[in-house]
Amino acid sequence: MATKKIQSALISVYYKDKLEPIIDLLKQNGVKIYSTGGSQKFIEEQGAEVIPVEELTGYPSIFGGRVKTLHPKIFGGILHRRDNQGDVSQASEFDIPAIDLVIVDLYPFEETVASGASEADNIEKIDIGGISLIRAAAKNFKDVVIIASKAQYGELEERLTSQDGATNLEDRRYFAAQAFQVSSNYDTHIFNYFNQTGEIPALKISENRTKALRYGENPHQASHFYGDLNEMFEQLNGKELSYNNLVDIDAAVALISEFKGETAFAILKHTNACGCATASSVKEAYQKAFAADTTSAFGGVLVTNRNVDLTAAEEMNSLFFEVLIAPSFDADALELLKGKKNRILLLQKIDVPGTKQIKTLLNGIIEQDKDLKTETIEDFKLVTKVAPSEEEKNALVFAAKVCKHTKSNTIVLSNSNQLFASGVGQTSRVDALRHAIEKAKVFGFDLKGAVMASDAFFPFPDCVDIAHKAGITAVVQPGGSIKDKDSIDFCDAHGMSMVMTGVRHFKH
């Protein structure tokens, strides 16, 4: 497979760690090494002889290091085709030596931007020579090996050791693919940095970090997660996270983030809350959330925004659940909860970053802003003669928060600190309401004085009619129907209060 022994190498890297074994192998195989600057100094410290790039090109590093390797003798040595007599003759004519191996580690642009560095510092970390070397060597993979990241040092070392300092065409093609992945990822981050305002309508996404999942939504579907879960969570116990776990975890942390400043607890199944409550302690919040649906809680995903202590852990330990997410755990609580080896315990480090949502659809991709709007009492517009009490206003805020994170069509019934029931993902709002009322009755909730939240407007007064008969006294909804007045008139005629927000929260 076109095995080629490496006889010469160009090394120009930003990070030098883990390069030592490669240098040793190149020395052992008598490889001629070209380098410059800090890389040259590092290689010489390993006892290897180095030909300075400046000696090859006849030019020093200029413009503060912006131009070092951009020269025909470098790129000619990489790009000339060894099986093309014209290229070989020209290389000989212009005294251009062949370069068989290129090792490059790009300037850390992405890391520099993430550190909050100045614009000037960010721009200086846009690698020019390195990215050009990568593309040149990858293009001529039939003759040249390209190592474009320190992450590939181990693979190169393994091949050079097992193949006596040589590589085959399959090796070189593989490293070329890796190189183009590195260069495309690098350019994507640079583009997104320059396009932060979104003036150029282009979607560029690149994520190197990947984790194979056990399977997708169903066992016959393969699945991967792209990103760094360790940035968000520390897994303290349990089996590997599945696709469905991750989908539910995403929904859980989004919902619990609505309750900053309060001690909250939620239980979710298939991304919808079957229980949600606030209280003075995690234990009490869990008890209230669990009471909303003691059946669906089985196998659910649990989440809280406060430390889990032993009393809370003892309360929930008898329940079979898939995942528990919390910002911290007391040591004795953690020890107890770890008693179930498959139980996933996640310590949440940060909130979910980003303001966009992206999804594949048909033959393309759709993107939208995340729904980051959460209504407060100040956002309520009173549209009925009767105003909600202060307690009802707080209850409407609570219900609206849960409603926002529930699949449409949805109706949520609650008081100011506990979800009573919700009708989830129904094809009509009337069905959603009836389902919620029936569920509340099953789990022993008296809806007299409860409040109702809807994710979208009421086109007819049927929902407020049904709600009134169930004992519900206050309603929050977006409004916007041409028949809003019908629902308002019904509320006025029956002593109910209604507020509108002007904000719809469909969730599909």
Cα 49 from Cα 68, distance rounded (Å) = 19
User: Under DSSP, is residue 51 helix (H, G, I), strand (E, B) or coil?
Assistant: strand
Cα 316 from Cα 201, distance rounded (Å) = 48
Residue 451 · residue 498 · CB < 8 Å: no
Cα 53 from Cα 309, distance rounded (Å) = 62
Question: How many CA atoms within 13 Å lie on the side-chain side of 261?
Answer: 1
Q: Which residues are catalytic?
A: 139, 270
Cα 308 from chain centre: 25
Cα 381 from Cα 27, distance rounded (Å) = 77
Residue 273 · residue 266 · CB < 8 Å: yes
User: Under DSSP, is residue 317 helix (H, G, I), strand (E, B) or coil?
Assistant: coil
Cα 425 from Cα 269, distance rounded (Å) = 13
Residue 51 · residue 82 · CB < 8 Å: no
Neighbour tally for 164: CB within 10 Å: 10
**Alpha carbon separation from 438 to 413, 414, 433, 434, 442 (Å, rounded):** 11, 14, 9, 6, 6
Angle (deg, nearest 10), helices 429-442 and 462-470: 10
Q: Which two tokens stand for residue 455?
A: 């994710």
Residue 35, beta-bridge partner list: 11, 52
User: Under DSSP, is residue 142 helix (H, G, I), strand (E, B) or coil?
Assistant: coil
